[in-house]
Amino acid sequence: MTAHLILTWLASAVVAGTPLIFAAVGEIVAERGGVFNLGVEGMMLVGAVSGFIAAVHTHDLLAAIVVAMWMAAMVSLLLAVLTITFGTDQAVTGLALTLFGAGLSSFLGKPYIGVPSPVTFHPIAVPGLAHLPVLGPVLFHQDLLVYASYLLAPLAWVLLTQTRPGLALRAAGEDAATADALGHNVAALRYLGVLVGGALAGLAGAYLSLAYTPAWTDNMTGGQGWIAIALVIFSTWSPLRAAAGAYLFGGVEALGFRIQAIGGTTPSYFLQMLPYVFTLAVLLVVTMRARRPGMPANLGRPYFREERYG
Amino acid sequence: MIRIERRAPLPPRAVVTLRLGGVALAFGLGAVFLTATGHSPLPAYLDMLRGAAGSSYALEQTVVKAIPLALTGLGVALAFQAGLWNIGAEGQLVMGACLASWAALTLPWPPWTLLPLLILLGLIGGALWALLPAIPRALFGTNEIITTLLLNYVALLWVDYLVFGPWADPSAFSFPYSRAFADAARLPLLAGTQVHAGALFVPVIAAALTFALRHTAWGYEIRVIGRSPRTAVYAGMPVSVDILIVMALSGAIAGLAGMGEVSGVIGRIQQGISPGYGYSAIIIAWLAGLHPWGTVAVAVGFAALINGGFALQTSGVPAAIASMLQALVLFSVLVSDFFATHRVIVRRGRPATVAAPEMRAQP
């Protein structure tokens, strides 16, 4: 009985962690290129609503995912143009992007509130692996997007640390002037980072509206975009640690639901606070260490070749 | 070949013209969006104008809405002046409202003491909620953007708990609100209007901030910390203490906004006392260049935008258009500010036609 409870909790931790992996890895890619995108929450909302609308009209999950990623990337393009080309303040631009995404998603989603999705992601057991003790039910009885998330973090790690484009992107985030002198197009690399981050945030949103809680509700992300940003700091800008952290945060989120499910007496509002309070506590512990290794040195700094210094 | 280079600063009048152009651009983009989603932009904008300023009632409602926007904007602007990203005005507003409501609902004090007490508790509630992230920021440099923001969610859930649980109105059949405040706990209306007396907080706070920031040594210190924290440390300024003071004051002003909402507008505490005032406040403060009176002016404009958005709902356009327009205004103004300090040169030596001729200053 207890073993079963723990297994279902772990399995739902993986599910709850999945959108966080998508969003956090996307934000790592953007920040490694030097752009701090505080619009994750807004981009997730746009992904969630556009993926849902596409699913309602096309009955095609793949099309829905493509639309969600495309739309969120287009929203992130706004931030890219403003911060990279026009050198606007990244923090305030990102915050406004979140407001914009929340408004846009609420506007577009209005007619779809309460509409059931004709198609959703369902768990598919991986032949063979699904019968492994413990690991089987936790990891290999999930939907396709969860399996995709298993591949994403290692893939991002390889791309960022083992390939030329990945190294060039990181150079643009660490020392833009030097990257420029080496012949890299800093602006193009940063645009790429932001767009990839946007697309992945869109995927995270689509996961919420098509798999996690298949429906559209206003502001359905409920702060997960911000938790993803905290996760980036927590992971010291490493996709692999971000994935591990995502499951930890997912576990905390799932814990609240489990406690309610088994009839705990704590008012649900306090259980819902858990993920936020846990994130706050983790941030506090992480930043109590003196230096923050891994933070891209030029993060948040606009780069104009004509105005470079040093 | 496109090049971007700095230009000589434009005269202030040209900057204002450029910024107004930015605002016009935002509404232009909004019109394109409305057309693309099957709405007619011109009637929509006219409806918004009517909803925001079409009658004396509409005007008064816009002023009422401007009060929390201006107060949270002022709080945020103060924090931004010190380089502190207080994104938590929403939660600070809610906690100010919460503590004020606690007194209004439970304390058996003589009626005439209630309003001053509520004001004090609103200030304290917001200040305490802002101190939570301020302490780790001052001690360890913990990024306050994320901590202040996450605390917003905690504050909202806390109010949910109160209004569904211990403070639920027993006669309301589990509707998410408390019982109504006694009359003595309500801010009176200004004579002959629908505007509550909380409106008076706005000029008082704006004047106090203007004075403190411009004419006191402390205000100078705050601005040095905001521009260059290292300089402040080397100059021997008590940076950590100032961080705590600024955040507490910033939160207190937002808390006062919350007190104004529960005591002046709603008359009880309920779920959703703020439709995102604390988030709009960030954009308002930024658009105003962090100037206190500018913040008040922009807040009135945004109040009109939000009320206009609500008016639109009757004609089938979602009110969310107001949030989008707020963001678009900020984006467009940021771009116009860029063109106030830069110019684009297409092909070597030939100025591009990006700005109107009178704005083209000779470097």
Lowest mean pLDDT among A21-25, A169-173, B293-297, B338-342: B338-342
CA-based max dimension of chain B: 77
pLDDT at position A1 is: 59
Judge: B328–A99 Cβ closer than 8 Å, yes or no. no
Task: Give the tokens for residue A66.
Answer: 């493509």
Confidence check: pLDDT of B340 > 50: yes
Distant-in-sequence, close-in-space partners of B185: CB < 8 Å, separation ≥ 6: B103, B104, B114, B115, B118, B263
Burial B206-242 (b: 16+ CB within 10 A, else e): beebeebbeeeeebebbbbbbeebeebeeeebebeeb
Q: What residue type is A161 in one-letter code? A: T
Judge: A287–B143 Cβ closer than 8 Å, yes or no. yes
Give the Cα separation of A233 and A131 in Å (integer): 36
Lowest mean pLDDT among A25-29, A303-307, B257-261: A303-307
Give the Cα separation of A177 and A247 in Å (integer): 37
pLDDT at position A110 is: 92
Domain-located, residue B131: yes
Q: How many CB atoms lie within 10 A of CB A136?
A: 17
B332 sits in which H/E element: helix B321-341
Q: How many CB atoms lie within 10 A of CB B154?
A: 22
Secondary structure E strands in chain B: 2-6, 342-346
pLDDT at position A293 is: 67
**CB-based contact A97:A37 (threshold 8 Å):** yes
Task: Give the tokens for residue B14.
Answer: 């040209």
Lowest mean pLDDT among A148-157, A280-289, B37-46, B205-214: A280-289
Average pLDDT of the residues in B171-178: 78
pLDDT band (50, 70, 90) for residue A4: confident
**CB-based contact A56:A117 (threshold 8 Å):** yes
pLDDT at position B154 is: 96
Average pLDDT of the residues in A133-137: 82
pLDDT at position A290 is: 59
Query: What is the percent of chain B with per-residue pLDDT over 90, rounded to a whole number?
Result: 64
Task: Give the tokens for residue B357.
Answer: 């001729």
A142 sits in which H/E element: strand A141-142
Q: How far is CA A308 from CA A134, A181, B138, B230, in A?
A: 55, 11, 32, 22
Give the Cα separation of A302 and B4 in Å (integer): 13
Best to test chain A binding among B80, B331, B343, B345 (most A CBs inside 10 Å): B331
Confidence check: pLDDT of B110 > 90: no
Judge: A107–B324 Cβ closer than 8 Å, yes or no. yes
Q: What residue type is B85 in one-letter code? A: W
pLDDT at position B349 is: 53
Domain-located, residue B109: yes
What are B235-267's pLDDT values in tens digits? 888 888 999 999 999 999 999 999 999 999 999
pLDDT at position A126 is: 85
Contacts of B79 in chain A (CB under 8 A): none
What are B119-166's pLDDT values in tens digits? 999 999 999 999 999 999 999 888 899 999 999 999 999 999 999 888
Average pLDDT of the residues in A133-151: 87
pLDDT band (50, 70, 90) for residue A308: low
The alpha carbon of residue B46 is apart from the nearest alpha carbon of chain A, in Å, by 19
Long-range contacts, B287-290 (Cβ 8 Å, 24+): B287/B329, B287/B330, B287/B333, B288/B73, B288/B77, B290/B77, B290/B80, B290/B81
CATH node for A2-307? 1.10.3470
Please report how many Cα atoms fall inside a 13 Å half-sphere around the Cα of residue B298, on the Cβ side. 29
Judge: A283–B321 Cβ closer than 8 Å, yes or no. no
Q: How many CB atoms lie within 10 A of CB A262?
A: 9
The alpha carbon of residue A146 is apart from the nearest alpha carbon of chain B, in Å, by 26
pLDDT at position B1 is: 62
Give the Cα separation of B19 and B97 in Å (integer): 35
Who wins on pLDDT, B268 or A301?
A: B268
In degrees, rounded to 5, the angle at the alpha carbon of residue A123 between the alpha carbons of residues A118 and A128 is: 150
Who wins on pLDDT, A290 or A88?
A: A88
Give the Cα separation of A280 and B180 in Å (integer): 34
pLDDT at position B348 is: 56
Nearest by CB to residue A287, choosing from B142, B145, B158, is B142
Count structural domains, chain B: 1
A124 sits in which H/E element: strand A124-125
Domain-located, residue B5: no
What are B306-328's pLDDT values in tens digits? 999 988 888 888 989 999 999 99
Domain-located, residue B362: no
pLDDT at position B356 is: 46
Judge: B324–A103 Cβ closer than 8 Å, yes or no. yes
Helix axes B277-287, B56-81, angle to 10 degrees: 70
Residues 6 through 35 of chain B touching chain A, CB cutoff 8 Å: 6
Residue B141 contacts A where some CB pair is shorter than 8 Å: yes
Domain-located, residue B60: no
Average pLDDT of the residues in A224-252: 93
Lowest mean pLDDT among A192-206, A276-290, B52-66, B288-302: A276-290
Nearest by CB to residue B323, choosing from A99, A110, A283, is A99
Best to test chain A binding among B157, B158, B277 (most A CBs inside 10 Å): B157
Q: How far is CA B316 from the centre of its chain?
A: 27
Query: What is the percent of chain B with per-residue pLDDT over 70, rounded to a whole number?
Result: 94
| Cα torsion B235, B241, B247, B252: sign | negative
Mean pLDDT of chain A: 90
Judge: A88–B338 Cβ closer than 8 Å, yes or no. yes
Q: What is the pTM of this model?
A: 0.92
Domain-located, residue B331: no
The alpha carbon of residue A173 is apart from the nearest alpha carbon of chain B, in Å, by 19
Q: How far is CA A132 from CA A144, A148, B37, in A?
A: 18, 20, 50
Using the structure block, give the residue that is written with the tokens 């039910």. A137
pLDDT at position B357 is: 42
pLDDT at position B71 is: 97
pLDDT at position B192 is: 84
Question: Phi and psi for B177 in degrees, rounded to 5?
Answer: -150, 160
Q: How many CB atoms lie within 10 A of CB B361?
A: 14
Give the Cα separation of B219 and A272 in Å (integer): 40
Lowest mean pLDDT among A222-226, A271-275, A301-305: A301-305
Mean pLDDT of chain B: 89
**CB-based contact A87:A32 (threshold 8 Å):** no
Q: Residue B245 sits in which domain range? A: 67-290
pLDDT at position B174 is: 67
Judge: B334–A277 Cβ closer than 8 Å, yes or no. no
Confidence check: pLDDT of A41 > 60: yes
Label residue A85 exposed, middle or buried (CB < 10 Å: 0-12, 13-18, 19+). Answer: middle
Judge: A283–B147 Cβ closer than 8 Å, yes or no. yes
pLDDT at position B347 is: 66
Looking at chain B, the number of H-run helices and the number of E-run strands are: 13, 2
Of A125-129, B84-88, B336-340, where does the model show the most confidence? B84-88
Give the Cα separation of B110 and B136 in Å (integer): 39
Domain-located, residue B130: yes
Residue count (chain A): 310
Q: How far is CA B312 from the centre of its chain?
A: 22
Q: How far is CA A305 from the centre of its chain?
A: 31
Who wins on pLDDT, A266 or B8?
A: B8
pLDDT at position B300 is: 96
Judge: A280–B150 Cβ closer than 8 Å, yes or no. yes
Partners of B270 in beta bridges: B177
Give the Cα separation of B282 and B152 in Å (integer): 14
